[in-house]
Amino acid sequence: MDCKKLITLLFLIFIITTNVFTQVYLNSSKSNEKRIEDLIDRMTLKEKVGQMCQYTRATLYDNISDRDLTRMVKEGKVGSILNIRDLEVIRELQEKAMDSRLSIPLIIGIDAIHGNALISGATVYPTPLSLASTWDPELVEKIGEQTALETRAAGIHWSFAPNVEVARDPRWGRVGETFGEDPLLVSEMGGAMIRGLQGISSERDNRVVGCAKHFIAGSEPINGLNFAPTDISERTLREIFLPPFVRSIKEGAFSFMAAHNEVNGIPCHADKWLLTKLLRNELGFDGFVVSDWTDVGRLATLHRVASDMKESTKLTVDAGLDMNMHGPGFFESIIELVDEGKLTEQRINKSARRILRAKFEFGLFEKPYGNKDKRNALMRSDEHVKTALKAARESIILLKNESILPLEEKYDKSILVTGPNANNSTILGDWVFEQPEENVTTIYEGIKKIAPEKTDVKFCNVGENYHNLSDSKLKKAKKMAINSDAAVVVVGGNSLRYKDDKTCGENMARSNIQLVGKQLELVKSIHSSGTEVIVVLVNGRPLGVTWIAENIPAIIECWEPGSEGGTALAEIIFGEINPSGKLPITIPRNVGQIQMIYNRKSTHNFRNYYETPSIPLYPFGYGLSYSEFKYSDLQVDKSTINPKDSTVVEVKIENTGDRSGTEIVQIYLRDEVSSVTRPVKELKAFKRVKLEPGQSKIIKFVIGFKELAFHNRNLKYIVEPGKFKVMVGSSSRNEDLLSEYLFVK
Ligand code: GLC
């Protein structure tokens, strides 16, 4: 046989054996929709239901044995795996999936909330609350991109992030995992994270599926406890909690996660109005909805709106859920329900299509695996560490400075560093597993590294347990303070999920917001030494540090600034970096003041308490700089407009200080008279502005329909004619704002 015939014969054999041209779904040159339809047509009911099922390994949780899991993956009964961190285990399971009848890859998910930080060696960026304190969406997008690179290289395709809940109760443990209390700021930050994670512009295998969570309003539980009921009006739901999810859809989020809680008597996982009528029919979401951890079963065991797993499954699939996180019971229930005619195969096809769409869009069929060398090269690469440091620098908030800071450059004196959070990994925050010590620069290590050569840096180890700050330790620290020129006292909380004494983070609510244990006594003891005290807060929620605010001359809020936090804090203390962070959440004086929010109604604090003024300790949007910024010449271009028109608001800002600095200019609006009560102010836009000493700039904001509109008595989203107060300045505090008026005809 001549060569030409042989090649033709071999090509025909290849075509017949692989029928690659007939298996459209395996042909990446075909459109996703064509690939989905071709695959759906080939799948059995069990294989479609399998896509809706997520599992984790038995060693983690007692669901099914690893052997059974592997078998089910091979049989095409598993669509997704979560929270497995070992690259080889992920690869083994993925190979089983690729070896299944239709070779449908698993979508592997993990909580990569601020870096893929459940993996040892990953770049640990500042937590979301810290990132919100930067008011820098571009930076957050870059962190999303870098997180996606590290996550995908680990063979993981889906991050259960961002948490775009609006946090308005500091008792709640997960405040640190959110972007704060304002719907606009949360929307901007959450949208940026989704753009970064899903990186629509980058290569398919450099991106991960984002997941807007938790849908909805579990961040305002009636008593601050995770899972507790949320009881809010539809108006509040639409005005406060929904906007970040609407923005997530606009940014193309491919998945949503339903929330643990009920809203007004209906568990989110069983709420058809929420998961279908609102999310899909009104808002047009066409991704897939995953349950939160075992929340399908909890419809029976916790919420008691179903009698068993089968009824829970029917309830949640009817409501609009697409995937069960996690474990057995869901698959079997659906098969039975379809056999009994209580669920249709058509309904199952909807969920299977949504999940397969993500798998095709993110290139899982072509590139299902990670790459160890690539992952190791990306984790804590110079570029990623540099970004983490930049974010830490921008996130740290100077709350008070009675001309103590910055310590002068040639600081040739002695400085004491102490406090339970001074030399440990509490700066990493929640959704982190233990990281190599060499990857984390603690506050003390940062100060030692950055302090000028002649500075004598002393450390007093008072231990890390907030309750074990014995009198002897306090006395020892005080004695060292007396012999020092300044003392940095690092206190706060602990969100580390791998530690058994955490005071914050998932499922760790508090019934008060004071410092835990004897931390305040430590601060008072050091203060009584007479030396200059700088209090540094490392914490995952607002703390009512009232005594400290009244008695300590310098206070820095770090939240949880990530692995480079110690370096950034030290650079700020010694003046290498000029702080620019602003509060993304109000800091109440005490738990009794909660709910304490800036976008409150005028009657919210019309009266006072017996013990406490009804104003916060520190307001939303507040943060100091080493520079001074002067606002002037606030103007509204067209002071009278039609409801559909827009106008330009401009303000002059000048750096009247002696060092360059960045100010976050904020614009707020108030609808002076309206058909329903409206907040006394609402953030409508913000801009980071860098200014050299003496430099000034004109900053402009466009105000139009979306800034002026609200839900009227009939929940119609409209602009009402009337007078609007326009406020521009450095925080939400009235004394920090210039104001003008705008009239809508
Ligand atoms: C938890 C959290 C959720 C997380 C999931 C998987 O219950 O509520 O945010 O993504 O489990 O770890």
- Distance of alpha carbon 323 from alpha carbon 46, whole angstroms: 14
pLDDT at position 555, please?
Answer: 98
In short, whether 295's Cβ falls inside 6 Å of ligand 1 is no
Using 50, 70 and 90 to split pLDDT, how confident is the model at 431? Answer: very high
pLDDT at 9: 75
Is the shortest distance between the CB of 654 and ligand 1 below 6 Å? no
pLDDT average, residue stretch 361-375: 96
**What local confidence, expressed as pLDDT, does residue 4 receive?**
81
pLDDT band at 192 (very low <50, low <70, confident <90, very high): very high
**Does position 203 have pLDDT exceeding 70, yes or no?**
yes
Mean pLDDT of 432-443: 98
**Does the Cβ of 111 fall within 6 Å of ligand 1?**
yes
> According to the model, what pLDDT value does residue 478 have?
98
Q: Which two tokens stand for residue 537?
A: 């807060």
| Mutation pick for ligand 1 pocket among 119, 506, 507, 508 (CB with most ligand atoms within 8 Å) | 506
Residue 715 has pLDDT above 60, yes or no: yes
Q: Name which of 47-61, 170-184, 705-719, 728-742 the model is least confident about.
A: 47-61
Looking at the CA of residue 260, tell me the nearest atom of ligand 1. Answer: 8
* Residue whose C-alpha is closest to residue 311's, from 258, 261, 352, 270: 270
- pLDDT of residue 551 exceeding 60, the answer is yes
Q: Establish whether residue 177 lines the binding site of ligand 1, counting it when its CB lies within 6 angstroms of any ligand atom.
A: no
pLDDT of 177 above 70: yes
- For residue 679, what are the CA distances in angstroms to 135, 183, 621, 697, 737? 22, 13, 16, 30, 16
Q: What is the pLDDT of residue 594?
A: 97
- Looking at residue 17, its pLDDT comes to 54
Predicted local distance difference test score (pLDDT) of residue 408: 79
Residue nearest to atom 11 of ligand 1 (CA): 293
Atom index in ligand 1 nearest the CA of residue 109 equals 6
Percent over 70 (pLDDT), the chain: 97
205 vs 193, more confident? 193
Displacement of CA 487 from its chain's centroid (Å)? 33
Nearest CA to ligand 1 atom 5: 293
| CA atoms within 13 Å, Cβ hemisphere of 569 | 34
| 631 in contact with ligand 1, CB cutoff 6 A | no
Scan for tokens 């609350």, then name that residue: 129
Report the distance separating Cα 161 and Cα 3, nearest Å.
56
Distance CA 202, CA 195 (A): 10
**Listed range (7-21, 74-88, 188-202) with the worst mean pLDDT:** 7-21
Answer yes or no: is pLDDT of 19 > 70: no
With a cut of 80, say whether residue 378 has pLDDT above it: yes
* Residue bearing the CA closest to ligand 1, atom 12: 111
Q: How far is the CA of 122 from the centre of ligand 1 (A)?
A: 19
8 A C-beta contact, residue 252 and residue 197: no
The atom number, within ligand 1, closest to the CA of 295 reads 7
Q: What confidence tier does 21 reach under pLDDT thresholds 50, 70, 90?
A: low
Do residues 316 and 299 lie in contact, with contact meaning Cβ atoms separated by under 8 Å? yes
Average pLDDT of the chain to the nearest whole number: 96
Task: Using the predicted structure, report yes or no on whether residue 68 has a pLDDT greater than 60.
Answer: yes
Question: Does the beta carbon of 160 sit less than 6 angstroms from any atom of ligand 1?
Answer: yes
Q: Give pLDDT, residue 15.
A: 62
∠ at Cα 597 (166, 175), nearest 5°?
A: 40
Q: What is the pLDDT of residues 612-633, one digit of tens each?
A: 999 999 999 999 999 999 999 9
**231 Cα to the center of ligand 1, angstroms:** 22
Residue 682 predicted with pLDDT over 70: yes
At residue 63 the predicted structure's pLDDT band, cuts being 50, 70 and 90, is low
User: Separation of 70 CA from ligand 1 center, angstroms?
Assistant: 23
Mean pLDDT across 412-439? 97
Average pLDDT on 561-575 reads: 98
User: Is ligand 1 within 6 A of the CB of residue 213?
Assistant: yes
Tens digits of residue pLDDT in 86-100: 999 999 999 999 999
Ligand 1: residue whose CA is nearest its atom 1: 293
Q: What is the pLDDT confidence band of residue 204, given thresholds at 50, 70 and 90?
A: confident
pLDDT in the model for residue 307: 98
Rounded to whole angstroms, the Cα distance separating 424 from 444 reads 9
State residue 36's pLDDT score.
98
Across 382-391, average pLDDT: 98
Q: What is the pLDDT of residue 580?
A: 98
User: Looking at residue 472, what is its pLDDT?
Assistant: 95
416 CA to centre of ligand 1 in angstroms: 40
Residue 112's closest CA among 93, 127, 99, 130? 127
> How many CA atoms does the CB half-sphere of 145 hold within 13 Å?
16
How many A from CA of 118 to the centre of ligand 1? Answer: 13
Provide the pLDDT for residue 58.
67
Nearest CA to ligand 1 atom 8: 292
Query: Among the listed ranges 47-56, 228-237, 278-287, 407-416, which one has the minimum average pLDDT value?
Result: 407-416
Which residue matches tokens 């041209």? Answer: 21
- Run of H or E residues at 74: helix 66-74
Report how far ligand 1's centroid is from the alpha carbon of 137 (Å). Answer: 24
Whether residue 671 has its Cβ less than 6 Å from ligand 1:
no
> What is the pLDDT confidence band of residue 731, given thresholds at 50, 70 and 90?
very high
**C-beta neighbour count of 340 within 10 angstroms:** 10
Q: Is 83 in the pocket of ligand 1 (CB under 6 A)?
A: yes
Q: Is the CB of 271 under 6 A from ligand 1?
A: no
Of 80, 214, 293, best ligand 1 pocket probe by most atoms within 8 Å of the beta carbon: 293
Tokens, residue 735: 């004394």
Index of the ligand 1 atom closest to the CA of residue 211: 10
**Among 159, 292, 432, which is best to mutate for testing ligand 1, by the most ligand atoms less than 8 A from CB?**
292
pTM of the predicted model as reported, rounded to 2 decimal places: 0.96
Bridge-based pairing of strands 722-729 and 737-744 is antiparallel
CA gap 545, 530 in Å, rounded: 20
Q: Which of 409-423, 456-470, 727-741 is predicted least confidently?
A: 409-423
Query: Percentage of the chain with pLDDT > 90?
Result: 93
295 Cα–ligand 1 center, Å: 10
Question: What ligand 1 atom has the least distance to the C-alpha of 111?
Answer: 10
Is the distance from the beta carbon of residue 293 to the nearest atom of ligand 1 less than 6 Å?
Answer: yes
Mean pLDDT along residues 301-321:
98
Cα of 290 to ligand 1 centre, how many Å?
11
By most ligand atoms within 8 Å of CB, the mutation choice from 160, 213, 216 for ligand 1 is 160
Q: Which atom of ligand 1 is nearest to the CA of 161?
A: 10
Least confident of 251-260, 404-413, 556-565, 672-681: 404-413
Ligand 1 center from residue 292 Cα (angstroms): 6
Query: Mean pLDDT across the stretch 428-448?
Result: 98
Provide mean pLDDT across the span 451-465: 96
| Structure confidence by residue, pLDDT tens digits, 72-81 | 999 999 999 9
Q: Is 158 in the pocket of ligand 1 (CB under 6 A)?
A: no
Could you tell me the two tokens for 281?
């029919």
Task: Give nearest CA residue, ligand 1 atom 3.
Answer: 292
Instruction: Supply the DSSP symbol for 618.
Output: B
Q: Which atom of ligand 1 is nearest to the CA of 160?
A: 10
Cα–Cα separations (whole angstroms), residue 15 to 23, 27, 36, 39? 11, 13, 21, 19
Structure confidence at residue 8 as a pLDDT band (50, 70, 90) = confident
Question: Cα(27)–Cα(20) distance, rounded to whole angstroms?
Answer: 7
Q: What is the CA radius of gyration of the chain?
A: 27
Helix (H, G, I), strand (E, B) or coil at 489: strand
Pick the residue whose CA is nearest to atom 10 on ligand 1. Answer: 160
Residues constituting the chain: 745
**DSSP three-state, residue 707:** helix
Q: What pLDDT was estimated at residue 16?
A: 60
Does the structure show a pLDDT above 60 at 636?
yes
What ranges in 287-441 are assigned the alpha helix state H? 295-301, 309-319, 330-339, 345-361, 372-378, 382-395
Confidence label for 7 from pLDDT (cuts 50, 70 and 90): confident
- Cβ of 292 below 6 Å from ligand 1: yes
| Distance between Cα 479 and ligand 1 center (Å) | 46
